């Protein structure tokens, strides 16, 4: 049996369809709020993916979309744990390095989608500035000179 190469995109599996539906819902909601979507499912590196990249005024927004059928086990944004924030920070830094013109400001938002495709209107929550860039990707602080 031949195993598929990891860098080749395979057709979406059934379990990823709710995620794609949620991303489409999030995109519509952001567009209604005046955001301009500049990228969808951006792959940066072998492991990192950014669900949506949008512009809101002069701010570049990296959006993580979390879709759940219900909130029985907590809010969808609760699953954006430390490891996920680190991966999103790493992906954002790589994305920014690839731009010819870097924005002055950027931020991380989370959009929660609660519902299922075909089951009425989903609950959509947009959490602006959901978290900060992981500190390991921040530039070092300026060195202070000691007075002599």
Q: Where are the alpha helices (DSSP H) in 7-63?
A: 17-32
Over residues 4-11, the mean pLDDT reads 45
pLDDT confidence bin for 3, thresholds 50/70/90: very low
Query: Could you tell me which of 99, 96, 104 has the C-alpha nearest to residue 137?
Result: 96
- Mean pLDDT for the stretch of residues 50-54: 96
Question: Pick the residue with more confidence: 131 or 145?
Answer: 131
Residue 38 covered by a domain? yes
Q: Give me the domain span that covers residue 71.
A: 15-132
From residue 51, give the alpha-carbon distance in Å to each of 11, 39, 142, 148.
17, 8, 33, 52
Residue 130 has pLDDT above 80, yes or no: yes
- Rounded Cα distance between 64 and 77, Å, is 9
Total-model pTM: 0.82
Closest by CA to 30, choosing from 99, 114, 105, 126, is 126
Q: pLDDT tens for residues 97-108?
A: 999 988 999 999
Q: Is residue 140 part of a domain?
A: no
Model pLDDT, residue 14: 44
Domain for residue 43, yes or no?
yes
Our count of domains for the chain comes to 1
- Domain of 60, CATH number, reads 3.40.1350.10
Please give the Cα distance from 10 to 8 (Å, whole number).
6
- Confidence band of 33 (pLDDT split at 50, 70, 90): very high
**pLDDT value for 7:** 42
User: Does any domain span residue 117?
Assistant: yes
3-state percent helix, strand, coil for the chain, nearest multiple of 5: 30, 30, 40
78 within domain boundaries:
yes
Q: What is the pLDDT of residue 147?
A: 65
Whether 99 is in a domain gets the answer yes
């Amino acid at each position: 049996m031949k195993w598929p190469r990891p860098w080749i995109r395979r057709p979406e599996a059934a379990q990823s369809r709710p995620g794609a539906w949620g991303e489409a819902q999030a995109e519509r909601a952001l567009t209604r709020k005046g955001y301009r979507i500049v990228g969808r499912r951006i792959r940066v590196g072998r492991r990192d993916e950014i669900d949506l990249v949008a512009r809101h005024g002069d701010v570049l927004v990296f959006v993580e979309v979390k879709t759940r059928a219900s909130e029985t086990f907590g809010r969808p944004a609760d699953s954006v744990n430390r490891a996920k924030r680190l991966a999103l920070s790493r992906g954002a830094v790589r994305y920014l390095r690839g731009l010819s013109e870097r924005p002055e400001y950027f931020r991380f938002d989370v959009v929660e989608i609660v519902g299922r495709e075909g089951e009425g209107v989903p609950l959509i929550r947009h959490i602006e500035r959901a978290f900060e860039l992981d500190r390991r990707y921040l530039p070092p602080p300026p060195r202070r000179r000691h007075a002599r």
